[in-house]
Amino acid sequence: MSTADGSGATGTRERIVLAASRLMQRQGYDGTGIKQISTEAGATFGSVYHFFPGGKRELAVAAIRHGDQEFGDFLREELDRVDDPAEAVAACARTLAAGLRASDWTDGCPVTATALGSATRAPEIQQAAAAAFERWRGLVAERLRRSGLPDADARELAATVVSALEGAEFAAQVSRSEEPLLTTGRQLARLISSYR
């Protein structure tokens, strides 16, 4: 069978994707070597090229797709914990800030660092990152629509929320402070509240 099954032991391929995603999240595409990935994953060099014949670029696409799903799950889960959508977005920002601090400011957005810089050279990577952004916007928009906002407003707000959270996470990471994320969360809540 080619696709990953849900068996108990973590497959080698899955471990490789996980390590690649985490390392590229911290060091970027060019800053992460395949050797480092294989070591971190507890796999051998040959295994990486066995599962990813396309080499580093194919591996980066898989890593981005993993980050896509990971952050998507986080968004869906976090946005459903509070009734008020404005407060839900603010809570989202708070959780992101706490996680960033917990990692000592190393783990930012799992897609940004991987895509930045390599996107211009590899269209496949750029497309995977674009798909992630599009999905996240859709998730937030759906949540806002569920709270009664018209589709057009929900879409505009969702794009703003995703962009702002992304930028605030990077600002917080580079400033080593939760403040940009917390501030942006508060202002996004105010903006959303202004729509009803």
Residues that bind DNA (CB under 7 A): 12, 32-36, 43-47, 49-51, 55-57
Q: Give the one entry of a copy of itself, DNA, none that residue 21 binds, where binding means its C-beta sits below a cut-off of 5 to 8 angstroms depending on kind.
A: none
Binder of a copy of itself out of 79, 119, 141, 144 (CB under 8 A):
119
Cα separation of 72 and 137, whole Å? 10
Q: Determine how many CB atoms are found less than 10 A away from the CB of residue 151.
A: 10
Nearest distance from C-beta of residue 106 to a copy of itself, angstroms: 5
78-96 CB burial, b ≥16 within 10 A, e <16: bbeeeeebbebbbbbbbbb
CA 1 to chain centre: 28
Q: Determine how many CB atoms are found less than 10 A away from the CB of residue 176.
A: 10
Cα separation of 12 and 80, whole Å? 33
Site track 58-87 with a copy of itself (rule: CB under 8 A), x = hit: ------------------------------
# chain residues binding a copy of itself, by CB under 8 A: 51
- If one asks whether residue 106 binds a copy of itself (CB under 8 A), the answer comes out as yes
- If one asks whether residue 19 binds a copy of itself (CB under 8 A), the answer comes out as no
* Amino acid letter, 161: V
Q: Which of residues 30-49 bind a copy of itself (CB under 8 A)?
A: 30-31
Does residue 98 contact residue 107 with C-beta atoms inside 8 Å? no
Q: Determine how many CB atoms are found less than 10 A away from the CB of residue 10.
A: 12
Q: Which is nearer to DNA, 63 or 100 (CB)?
A: 63
Nearest distance from C-beta of residue 99 to a copy of itself, angstroms: 16
Cα separation of 169 and 177, whole Å? 10
Residues forming the site for a copy of itself (CB under 8 A): 26-31, 105-106, 108, 112-113, 115-121, 126, 129-130, 133-134, 156-157, 159-160, 162-171, 173-176, 179-180, 183-184, 186-188, 190-191, 194
